[in-house]
């Protein structure tokens, strides 16, 4: 099967330019020819009218009762092959006829009136233009007809048409050459961009295309390509960092498991010691399982294969459920969870996905808040958005790290994070869960110390009662 040959953009631009220009020239030439022809015919009719008036003044009565042409060196139809004059009586009798007009057929006298009647007549391959009208010559009503040959006019029109017909292909050829040159010059910056882009590989993503003029179309195209390279560079860097971090996270529990196994096989131990070793290995396996599950969840989210089961839910009730499930963790650290909630905040989200984001943020607040402190949760409606905040009393997050706190495997304190059993993916999963609902997640410094994590998601239904009142849920599960 033969491949279809697609012409280049340069060729197509040249062809379109030449075709459009030829069509415009053809329309212009046609309009010009028709206009000139119309003007020539109008001028011929004006000349015929002047001949008619002249004939009225120069035809005189002879003593014999006929008509003769008065002497006039400027107007002598007897010797002018291109003009003729006829005089006919009302009864059809020929009174006077000049020599050139003798080839013309007699006029239809019954159709002649006082109004000028123009007509074109072809005789022996020659075209004549005539003007016929009644006139009063010496007190006698007669029919006067003047004629002029159209051959000179046709010759001039033919010459004009020949010039246009010959000139149009010449102009088309020069237009094609000019269009090719213009297309080549217009597309040369694209060839330059292509050659520059070809040398940028995965190892040279830091390089950018040169932008000679940012205001024209080529400059804007180069700017878009540079932005794409910047995004690719950031993605590659994130992928490298993610691969390194994931490898490190996987290597640590595997090394622990290997070490425990080697120690257990090194010498004979008691059943209790073997049981303790197996328990330690299972803890590391649980950690690996959690890490792999988190990575799979994020990879599915990045691939866009997670389908959200959106439904109207009450964020107040959803947050209550999360607080109830994590209350035992707060009780172990003698912490209190204070929940200030609105009456009802309804939005259309995937319950399980958004619950995971809320769970991760509350779990993060419990881990990093000191023992005996309180964690404040505030839920409110702000215009067409629902705002859910988690305020802890932890060490806080420096401003320089707030942009990276939601990156995968990012930790402020590696030792503390590993000691608490974290994988460094909880906040990343929370950010994905919020982003996929069209919301935003952010972190700020709390006025009383610690951090405030904020989730903002669009509302889809207004609360039944816009007034808000506070309910406080303690670690014991009671309310006051």
> Does the residue 80 lie in any domain?
yes
Same domain? For 298 and 230 the reply is yes
Q: How confident is the model at residue 218 (pLDDT cuts 50, 70, 90)?
A: confident
Least confident window among 14-28, 87-101, 451-465: 451-465
> Does residue 404 form part of some domain?
yes
Q: Of all residues in the chain, what percent carry a pLDDT higher than 70?
A: 81
* 101 part of a folded domain: yes
Residues 26 and 125 both lie in one domain: yes
Q: What is the CATH number of the domain that holds 338?
A: 3.30.565.10
**Predicted confidence band at 469 (pLDDT cuts at 50, 70, 90)?**
very low
Q: Which of 274, 303, 332 is the last residue of a domain?
A: 303
Same domain for 282 and 326, yes or no, is no
Domain match, 21 and 145 both: yes
* 258, part of any domain: yes
Domain membership of residue 57 (yes or no) is yes
Residues 153-184: tens digit of each pLDDT = 888 999 988 988 888 888 888 888 888 888 88
User: Looking at the structure, do residues 258 and 323 belong to the same domain, yes or no?
Assistant: no
Which pairing describes strands 310-314 and 140-149: parallel, antiparallel, or unpaired?
unpaired
Could you read off the pLDDT of 220-257 as tens digits, one per residue? 888 888 888 888 888 787 777 667 666 766 676 777 77
Q: In terms of residue numbers, what domain contains 320?
A: 310-458
Quick check: is 202 in a domain? no
Provide the domain count of the chain. Answer: 3
CATH number, position 253: 1.10.287.130
Is 279 found in the same domain as 320? no
**Whether residue 197 has pLDDT greater than 90:** no
Is 90 exceeded by the pLDDT of residue 35?
A: yes
Do 272 and 378 fall into the same domain? no
Q: Measured between alpha carbons, how far is 424 from 445 in angstroms, rounded to an integer?
A: 20
Whether residue 37 is contained in a domain is answered as yes
- Asked whether residue 164 is domain-assigned, the answer is no
- Three state DSSP letters for the chain: CCCCCCCCHHHHHHHHHHHHHHHHHHHHHHHHHHHHHHHHHHHHHHHHHHHHHHHHHHEEECCCCCEEECCCCCCCCCCCCCEEEEEEECCCCEEEECCHHHHCCCCCHHHCCCCCEEEEEEECCEEEEEEEEEEEECCEEEEEEEEEECHHHHHHHHHHHHHHHHHHHHHHHHHHHHHHHHHHHHHHHHHHHHHHHHCCCHHHCCCCCCCCCCCCHHHHHHHHHHHHHHHHHHHHHHHHHHHHHHHHHHHHHHHHHHHHHHHHHHCCCCHHHHHHHHHHHHHHHHHHHHHHHHHHHHHHHHHCCCCCCEEEEEHHHHHHHHHHHHHHHHHHCCCEEEEECECCCEEEEEHHHHHHHHHHHHHHHHHHCCCCCEEEEEEEEECCEEEEEEECCCCCCCHHHCCCCCCCCCCCCHHHHHHCCCCCCHHHHHHHHHHCCCCEEEEEECCCCCEEEEEEEECCECCCCCCECCCCECCCCCEC
Q: Which of 112, 130, 157 is the last residue of a domain?
A: 157
The pLDDT score that the predictor gives to residue 403 is 76
Tell whether 66 and 13 lie within a shared domain. Answer: yes
Residues 435 and 350 in one domain: yes
- Distance from C-alpha of 78 to C-alpha of 80, rounded to nearest angstrom: 6
- Among residues 244, 269, 303, the one where a domain terminates is 303
pLDDT at residue 176, rounded to an integer = 85
Mean pLDDT confidence for 362-388: 88
109 and 65 part of one domain: yes
Rounded to an integer, the average pLDDT of 58-82 is 65
Same domain, 137 and 222: no
Q: Above 70 in pLDDT, residue 5?
A: no
Q: 107 and 237: one domain?
A: no
CATH code of residue 31: 3.30.450
pTM of the shown model: 0.48
- The tens digit of pLDDT for each residue in 275-329 reads 888 888 887 787 777 767 766 766 666 666 667 788 999 999 999 999 988 888 8
Query: Picking from 15-24, 315-324, 378-387, 419-428, which range would have the lowest pLDDT averaged per residue?
Result: 419-428
């Amino acid at each position: 099967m033969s491949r279809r040959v697609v012409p280049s953009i340069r060729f197509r631009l040249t062809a379109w330019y030449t075709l459009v220009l030829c069509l415009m020239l053809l329309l212009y030439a046609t309009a010009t020819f028709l206009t000139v022809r119309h003007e020539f015919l109008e001028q011929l009719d004006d000349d015929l009218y002047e001949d008619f008036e002249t004939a009225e003044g120069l035809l005189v009565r002879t003593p014999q009762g006929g008509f003769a042409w008065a002497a006039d060196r400027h107007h002598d139809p007897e010797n002018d092959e291109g003009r003729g004059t006829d005089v006919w009586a009302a009864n059809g009798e020929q009174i006077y006829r000049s020599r050139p007009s003798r080839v013309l057929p007699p006029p239809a006298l019954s159709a002649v009136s006082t109004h000028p009647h123009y007509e074109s007549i072809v005789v022996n391959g020659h075209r004549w233009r005539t003007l016929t009208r009644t006139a009063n010559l010496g007190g006698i009503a007669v029919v006067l007809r003047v004629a002029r040959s159209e051959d000179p006019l046709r010759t001039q029109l033919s010459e004009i048409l020949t010039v246009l017909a010959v000139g149009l292909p010449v102009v088309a050829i020069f237009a094609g050459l000019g269009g090719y040159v213009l297309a080549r010059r217009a597309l040369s910056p694209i060839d330059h961009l292509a050659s520059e882009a070809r040398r940028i590989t995965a190892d040279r993503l830091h390089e950018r295309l040169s932008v000679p003029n940012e205001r024209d179309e080529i400059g804007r195209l180069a700017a878009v390509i540079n932005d794409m390279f910047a995004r690719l560079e950031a993605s590659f860097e994130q992928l490298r960092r993610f691969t390194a971090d994931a490898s490190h996270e996987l290597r640590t529990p595997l090394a622990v498991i290997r070490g425990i196994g080697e120690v257990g096989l090194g010498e004979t131990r008691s059943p209790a010691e073997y049981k303790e070793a197996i328990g330690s290995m299972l803890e590391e396996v649980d950690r690996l399982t959690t890490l792999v599950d988190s990575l799979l969840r994020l990879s599915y989210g990045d691939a866009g294969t997670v389908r959200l089961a959106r439904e109207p839910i009450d964020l107040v009730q959803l947050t209550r459920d999360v607080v109830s499930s994590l209350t035992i963790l707060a009780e172990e650290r003698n912490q209190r969870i204070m929940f200030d909630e609105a009456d009802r905040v309804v939005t259309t989200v995937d319950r399980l996905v958004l619950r995971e984001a809320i769970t991760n943020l509350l779990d993060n607040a419990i881990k990093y808040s000191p023992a005996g402190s309180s964690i404040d949760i505030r839920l409110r409606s702000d215009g067409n958005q629902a705002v859910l905040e988690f305020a802890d009393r932890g060490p806080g997050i420096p401003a320089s790290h707030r942009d990276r706190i939601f990156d995968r495997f990012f930790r402020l304190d590696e030792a503390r994070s590993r000691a608490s059993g974290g994988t460094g993916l909880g906040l990343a999963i929370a950010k994905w869960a919020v982003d996929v609902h069209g919301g935003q997640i952010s972190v700020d410094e709390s006025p009383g110390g610690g951090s405030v994590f904020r989730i903002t998601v669009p509302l889809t239904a207004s609360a039944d009662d816009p007034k808000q009142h506070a309910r406080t849920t303690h670690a014991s599960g009671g309310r006051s």
